[in-house]
Structure 1
Amino acid sequence: MKTMLRRWLRDEQGSQLIEFVLIFPLVWLLIVFSFDQFTILYNRQKALAAAYEAGRIAAVQPNFGLAKYHARERGMAELDQGMEVAERDIVLELDGGGWKKGNHFKAEAKVSFRLLATGAVYELSESYYMMVENAEDKK
């Protein structure tokens, strides 16, 4: 009986399969979580680019209505390039004083998406503060 047990323990037949079964789930988790981190970083960069582009085009518009329209169009075009984006939005907010040359506003890009590993919804937002450059003079 002892000799059979020793022979069975020394036998390496099937050891590669056991190693694969034990290690593969860990490698798979590493790959999935790495993909999630890449997705977060990529979508954060796209949100930042969308906020910048929205603010840049809005800053040269003559009135707030046109600024909101063009900012939304330009920002959404940038957010369309995100990965697995579920919801997205571009918001312009005035800092007091209205749409006058020299006043400031905030362009904000909001995006949400599901993570591959957990399925949880991840939300992020990025914003830029900019100055109105080309407002109409109302007299």
Structure 2
Amino acid sequence: MKRNWFGLIRNERGTQILELILALPLLWFVFIFSFDQFSILYNRQKVLAAAYEAGRIAAVQPNFGLANYHAAEMGQAELKQGIGMTDSRVRLYVQGGWKKGNHFEAEATMKFHLLATGKPFELKESYHLMIENAEKGGSQ
């Protein structure tokens, strides 16, 4: 019995299932990748907002103690809205003491697990501001 290979190639039976088998892993990878990217982008926005809010409230405080307290409160409130957060931190860094006109940095850090793969991930953002309101002779 002689086979007609040209006839088999032209036969389109089963091509849809073959296309599904070839395309499904690629589509699944894109689907999973999009969940991880969404969680990174969303949490990055939350970390940046936390650093901004912490710095904004700290800039108008009369001393470093109040600035540090309010910055942590505002920053943590923003970070709590993150997805899959396992750990977070808000810090202020100031050089030259808490004096009007000096500059400081508000830094926010968040650790979380990616939505699809579950791998740990860490984001860190900072915001630089000038101290607008400080007691005379204030220090750190």
Task: Report which stretch shifted further, 106-115 or 79-88.
Answer: 79-88
CA distance in 1, matches of 2:24, 2:129: 50
CA distance in 1, matches of 2:44, 2:2: 62
CA distance in 1, matches of 2:67, 2:55: 9
Structure 2 residue ranges without an equivalent (≥5): none
The aligned residue for residue 109 of structure 2 is 110
| Conservation of the 8 A alpha-carbon contact between 2:51 and 2:126 | yes
| Conservation of the 8 A alpha-carbon contact between 2:85 and 2:111 | yes
The aligned residue for residue 134 of structure 1 is 133
CA distance in 1, matches of 2:99, 2:24: 61
The aligned residue for residue 59 of structure 2 is 59
The aligned residue for residue 77 of structure 1 is 77
Task: Report which stretch shifted further, 23-32 or 116-125.
Answer: 116-125
Deviation at 1:14, TM superposition (A): 4.2
- Shift in CA distance, 75/3, structure 1 to aligned 2, threshold 3 Å: same
Deviation at 1:132, TM superposition (A): 1.2
TM-score, structure 2 length as denominator? Answer: 0.83
CA distance in 2, matches of 1:2, 1:46: 69
Deviation at 1:117, TM superposition (A): 4.6
CA distance in 1, matches of 2:119, 2:131: 38
Structure 1 residue ranges without an equivalent (≥5): none
Deviation at 1:125, TM superposition (A): 0.6
TM-score, structure 1 length as denominator? Answer: 0.84
Matched, 1:94 2:129: no
Q: Deviations over 1:20-72 (max 9, x none)?
A: 23211210101111222222122111111110100000011111111111111
CA distance in 2, matches of 1:89, 1:29: 32
Task: Report which stretch shifted further, 45-54 or 10-19.
Answer: 10-19
| Conservation of the 8 A alpha-carbon contact between 2:84 and 2:115 | no
The aligned residue for residue 25 of structure 1 is 25
CA RMSD in angstroms, aligned pairs only: 2.3
The aligned residue for residue 37 of structure 1 is 37
Deviation at 1:11, TM superposition (A): 5.6
Task: Report which stretch shifted further, 51-60 or 86-95.
Answer: 86-95
Amino acid at match of 2:118: G
